[in-house]
Amino acid sequence: MPISRRIFLRDSAIAMVGVGTSPLWLQRAALAQTTTGQRKKVLVAIFQRGAADGLNIVVPHGEQRYYDLRPTIAIPRTEVIDLDGMFGLHPSLAPLKPLWDNRQLAIVHAAGSPDPTRSHFDAQDYMESGTPGMKSTDDGWLNRALPPVTGKPSPVRAVSLGPTLPRAMRGKNEAVAVESLGAFTVRDTAAAKTLEAMYAGTGDQVLNGTGRTTFEAVALLQSLQKTPYAPADGATYPAGRFGDSLRQIAQMIKANVGVEVAFADIGDWDHHAQEPTRLPARLAEFGASLAAFYRDMGDRMEDVVLVTMSEFGRTAKENGDRGTDHGHANAMFVMGGPVQGGKVYGKWPGLAQEQLYENRDLALTTDFRDVLGESVYNHLGNQQIGKVFPGYAAGPNKFKGYLRA
């Protein structure tokens, strides 16, 4: 299509949207023009729901006290994948070691939310709202993290994989939940137009908003459904929801449909009992999925920062059932082209009794907002960091410096 015609379409469609009479196909055409063909900076947020045991994931094998606290569940020194003499990865995370060696994977240890709650629900809520201790916040940090735009934004700027829209992504910016790209459509084409018109016309503001975003996103994502997706470079995502999520995020990023923030979660980390039989499988899926994503993205990883989080850590000491109970600080992974990896960031508080938080948990030395904030500020380029994390004095002086300058 010649450029002049493209511009005509866009401008006239936008003008017509203004008076509310533009046919839907024209709106879509305009939309397609504003959102495709651009490489965007992308932040991918991963939530490990259930409070993953950071001490058995990024193992402080250089500290004997770790072994004293966990006589039956510690990862033996002989099995740890050593990173720097002090810390090492759980053996099930072996697929991540090459990323570490390539310096595209960094770790921030003893990080998390300063709020003392040990409730899964509250802690997830706080981490997703980005306002620990404040329940009244009605939107999520990832929604607020989107930089201001001029013109019509892509309907899939903010996309989460799964059947529900996570708290982190709720807010005034449009955000879509995609259960799977293949199913993201109205199957009955005859009904689709009428349904679209119904939701466009309804006085029910909530359903009107979601309906509008949905149909715009459907139009945009249709092109992705036509050809089966083949991950690049022989990348193989493990079977399961988490691998599927990352594969589809990669597909959307590479299709340049305008994704700027993406979200996926992986559950089942709440190992109160028999942790050594449950954690390895969880980590194997987690690690292999991240490694496949990295491989699949290839050079496009230059545009991507992926950061992981979990609502809190687990008790430093194992409990009576070869498990751990709810704790405090945790470990976060950061990976991507812009990352200065191969390094564990953050101050290590130690595991001696007097160093533990409330005498039982890993103490917190890095606020999760400083980790997320650095990517929002330097990678997404949204410097209104005070609005992303209201009530918190966030800013570059607190960043860990895990991104290349």
List residues binding other proteins (CB under 8 A): 49-50, 71-72, 117-122, 162-165, 176-179, 183-188, 190-191, 193-195, 197-199, 201-204, 206-208, 210-211, 213-214, 217-218, 267-268, 270, 272-273, 319-323, 325-326, 358
The nearest distance, CB 167 to other proteins, in angstroms, is 9
What is the rounded CA–CA span in Å between residue 51 and residue 279? 12
In this structure, the strands spanning 58-59 and 88-89 are: antiparallel
Torsion of CA 135, 361, 168, 134, to 10 degrees: 20
The nearest distance, CB 292 to other proteins, in angstroms, is 23
Choose between 211 and 336: whose C-beta lies nearer to other proteins: 211
The SS3 assignment for 295 reads helix
What is the rounded CA–CA span in Å between residue 51 and residue 344? 20
What is the rounded CA–CA span in Å between residue 42 and residue 53? 27
DSSP E strand stretches across 171-238 = 176-178
The burial of 347, by beta-carbon neighbours within 10 Å (0-12 exposed, 13-18 middle, 19 or more buried), is given as exposed
Choose between 163 and 391: whose C-beta lies nearer to other proteins: 163
Tokens 């595991």: give the residue: 351
The nearest distance, CB 193 to other proteins, in angstroms, is 6
The SS3 assignment for 143 reads helix
CB–CB of 312/327 below 8 Å? Answer: yes
Tokens coding 232:
């690049």
The nearest distance, CB 94 to other proteins, in angstroms, is 24
Choose between 149 and 273: whose C-beta lies nearer to other proteins: 273
Choose between 314 and 400: whose C-beta lies nearer to other proteins: 314
The nearest distance, CB 89 to other proteins, in angstroms, is 22
Which one, of 85, 175, 70, lies nearest residue 128 by Cα?
A: 175
The nearest distance, CB 186 to other proteins, in angstroms, is 5
The nearest distance, CB 333 to other proteins, in angstroms, is 22
In this structure, the strands spanning 304-310 and 81-82 are: unpaired
Choose between 241 and 369: whose C-beta lies nearer to other proteins: 241
Choose between 95 and 140: whose C-beta lies nearer to other proteins: 140
Diameter of the chain measured on Cα atoms? 71
Choose between 206 and 230: whose C-beta lies nearer to other proteins: 206
Choose between 214 and 308: whose C-beta lies nearer to other proteins: 214
The nearest distance, CB 122 to other proteins, in angstroms, is 5
Dihedral of alpha carbons 391, 392, 394, 399, sign: negative
